[in-house]
Amino acid sequence: MIRIGFGEIRFPNDDREWLETDGRGGYASSTLEHRHTRRYHGLLVANLRAPEGRHVLLSKLEDSLQAGGEEHFFSSHRYPGVLFPPGPPVLEEFRLDTCPRFISRAGGTTVKKSILMPRGKGTLLVRYDLERCPKGGILRLKPFLAFRGYHKLSRENPFLRNRTEGIENGFRIEPYEGMPPLFIQTSRASRFTPSPAWYRNFQYTEERERGFDWEEDLFLPGLIEIPVERKCTVILSVSFNGDTMQHRVPIKNPMRHHVPITALWKTEVVRRGRDRAADAKGFGKSGEKDREILSSLFDAGRSFLITTPSGRPAIIAGYPWFGSWGRDALISLPGLCFSTGRIAEGIEILTEIGRHERDGLLPNFFSADGAPEAYNTVDSSLWYFWAVQELLRISGDREMLRERFWPVMKRIVRAFMDGTRFGIGMTREGLLHAGDGRTALTWMDATVDEIPVTPRHGCPVEINALWYNALCFTRYLADEFGEPELFAGDLIPLLRRSFREAFWNRGHDAASCPRGCLGDVFRDGILDTAVRPNQIFAVSLPFSPLNPAEQASVVRAVREQLLTPCGLRTLSPADPAYRGRYRGNPALRDGAYHQGTVWPWLLGAFGEAALRVADNPEQEKENLRQYLRAFLQQHLSEAGIGSVSEVFDGDAPHRPGGCIAQAWSVAELIRLFAMIREG
């Protein structure tokens, strides 16, 4: 459990965020005070099949308790020059355990508000547990609707249909043609009073900082009032498909208690308890502190594993704004699935990705419903080999590999050898080249005005490390499966020699790596000698083209020039092109994205490489364990509570940025913990 007490809450501008997900790519998210700071915040952000994609349906609730002649609010809004409500906050504690919980003191009444999204149900449940509520108390709920794509903002308009239909203890509304209706209902007797109105100019400060539009109008259909007293529980159900609605008729008996809503809550809590119990078996002999961290990471990891509206398995790259990306999914898959015991789920995701191979390439992007949309990377196909290697290491099932993945692997190797799209192909020296000056085909793919910020066309170092690893693994399997004709001549020895001749930077004069390290891109006979983390994969991957001394020198250079308390910098601070702050408008952020910004996902490869070259592996494991504890004990409650951010500033104090919950950040830390636990 993560607990944040009143003394740790930075009123009135605490920008820390919570996240709850539904297993379909939808989510609920806001700040601790339920004051939205992003366009992406919302209580019911649904991943729809039609219209396709994520949509903010229910943006927020203005919820309050009227008791003892006072009204106490559990959420807040920022308008131009006004913060509502103006009084002191009622929140006393935030807890993240089974779901996000907010404990408030409303006069003499304790109110525990919990937010839960049952997996796969398309429903939001908001639960209010009240204790010592005086007689005559009223719980008031004002639902504010957006009904927009989650990248957009809504404005008052004449097209919204404000008519509501009464249902037992709630109402139904269908604001726009082509959008799903919304069913809002309470578990306890309530009264809905239609009072349609637009509330204007909600302000989202994070969007202002990011250089985007930052004001929005939201629509209020009316007011829900629930009589409460003493000790009682109210659950609000908000659904966009009506699956959980048992009564869609006009109100007949307002006192009738809705058991299905309560049962839905209980069923989901039990399911999550089973998941956590299964997770705990994988923690091994980890100490109490590590078990708490692992529990948070496993919970966070589960949020990225989804089933799309059409029933396809997928991995969400990050919340709140990323969708499903091929590269991210393949890098994340071993940590999220194979290191957590979710092997069958991982196999299905890997199989689904492999089904979409075209001309040796795998999609870089999938639609919200799981359809492939972009084949514009060189490394997704190569990470596929690594994911299969990790599966084989965990499962040992060669026959399953041969049936499901081997045909895809062979097609990729042949296509890369022969040459395929985007100039991807093999040189006479066996190296893999890709792209031109206007393409960004590697993971360092930020562009400004359609020009890559970090030009990496030619022969990038990690692409060729991945290529070497893929060829070695393919040769191993070809021998196992009796297909040696896949390889003619001495391609792998040639590639090993060419790799070292092209990328080894013997002339590096930095005191931290006197024995040299790897450059980043070999192009037109010239090596880009920038010290970047991409070289670490030449050590961490199962098959390395480097000798032991070279491997140790690479790890030393990366450790001393790029390692920070929260991940690896993307460029050495000694480089004139280094940018130590990731902030500002899109152009400024993209300009720093891979020019010094820290990425925690790289810690998996760094830890694996460090263990490989360590003179004392057990001591190195302890060093990594202490590093992860120090990092995560602070970070799990500093940004996206309970998860790991996408990036951090390269300069101290290394402020987190980007997405508040990033799949490969979480996945690679889970995998690193697993490496540390292994004997």
**Residues 6 or more apart in contact with residue 370 via CB below 8 angstroms:** 308, 310, 312, 314, 324, 352
Longest dimension (CA), the chain: 87
CA distance linking residue 398 with residue 385, whole number of Å: 14
Architecture of domain 2-275: Distorted Sandwich (2.70)
Mean per-residue pLDDT, 106-124: 96
Min mean pLDDT across 11-20, 631-640, 652-661 is at 11-20
Residue 506 has pLDDT above 80, yes or no: no
Residue 507 has pLDDT above 90, yes or no: no
Handedness of CA 350, 353, 357, 362 (dihedral sign): negative
Mean per-residue pLDDT, 274-298: 89
Beta strand 123-149 pairing with 109-116: antiparallel
Q: How many CB atoms lie within 10 A of CB 290?
A: 19
CA distance linking residue 142 with residue 225, whole number of Å: 9
pLDDT in tens, 137-172: 999 999 999 999 999 999 999 999 999 999 999 999
Mean per-residue pLDDT, 360-387: 91
**Residues 6 or more apart in contact with residue 252 via CB below 8 angstroms:** 168
**Residues 6 or more apart in contact with residue 585 via CB below 8 angstroms:** 210, 211
pLDDT reported for residue 255: 36
Q: Which two tokens stand for residue 65?
A: 């308790």
Residue 21 has pLDDT above 70, yes or no: yes
pLDDT in tens, 225-240: 999 999 999 999 999 9
Write out the residue limits of the CATH 2.70.98 domain(s) in the chain. Answer: 2-275
Residue 310 has pLDDT above 70, yes or no: yes
**Residues 6 or more apart in contact with residue 259 via CB below 8 angstroms:** none
In the structure, what pLDDT confidence band is assigned to residue 259 with cuts at 50, 70 and 90?
Answer: very low
pLDDT in tens, 392-425: 999 999 999 999 999 999 999 999 999 999 999 9
Question: Quick one: which H or E segment has residue 329?
Answer: helix 326-333
One DSSP character per residue, 268-279 reads HHHHHHHHHHHH
Which range, 8-17, 144-153, 247-256, has the best average confidence (pLDDT)? 144-153
pLDDT in tens, 511-559: 445 569 999 999 999 999 999 999 999 999 999 999 999 999 999 999 9
Contact 112, 36 (CB under 8 A): no
Mean per-residue pLDDT, 342-355: 97
Residue 250 has pLDDT above 50, yes or no: no
pLDDT reported for residue 254: 38
Residue 249 has pLDDT above 50, yes or no: no
CA distance linking residue 215 with residue 230, whole number of Å: 40
Tell which residue, 573, 559, 561, 572, has the closest CA to residue 603.
559
One DSSP character per residue, 199-226 reads EEEEE-HHHHHTTS--EEEEEEEEEEEE
The backbone region for 218, taken as left when phi is positive above 0, alpha when psi lies in -120 to 50, beta otherwise, is: beta
Q: pTM for this one?
A: 0.95
Min mean pLDDT across 308-312, 393-397, 503-507 is at 503-507
Mean per-residue pLDDT, 259-279: 93
Residue holding tokens 């480089």?
A: 575
pLDDT reported for residue 286: 77
pLDDT reported for residue 41: 98
pLDDT reported for residue 679: 54
Q: Which two tokens stand for residue 368?
A: 């919200």
Mean per-residue pLDDT, 179-187: 97
Q: Which two tokens stand for residue 113?
A: 């508000």
